[in-house]
A = this chain, B = another copy of it.
Amino acid sequence: MKANVTVTLKRGVLDPQGKAIGHALEGLGFDGIGEVRQGKLIEVELAETDRAKAEAALDEMCRKLLANTVIEDYRIEIAE
């Protein structure tokens, strides 16, 4: 089973990297750029075949390691 975990900064937490990217895009001449935020995408391959079990495991992985819930939100998507 394959899963995509996306980890994004919580709203309200400053994202200097996203801001710098927005700035650079404007510098390259792109117009109408609003807010830019940068997050992480983590693709995980799992041996687990039961969808519900996989989701539970992934949720635990996120809480234990993949995301810092003080500042980050996470979203789990099971691909297949």
Contacts and interface: CB of A to CB of B under 8 A. Distances in A.
- Tell me which of A22, A30, A31, A60 has the highest count of chain B C-beta atoms within 10 A of its own C-beta: A30
A41 interface: yes
Interface string A20-53: 0110110010111111111111111111100000
What is the total number of copies of this protein in its complex?
2
Interface residues of A, number: 33
A61 interface: yes
Contacts of A65: 21, 24-25, 28
A36 B32 contact: no
Contacts of A40: 38-41
Interface string A39-80: 111111111100000000100110011100000000000000
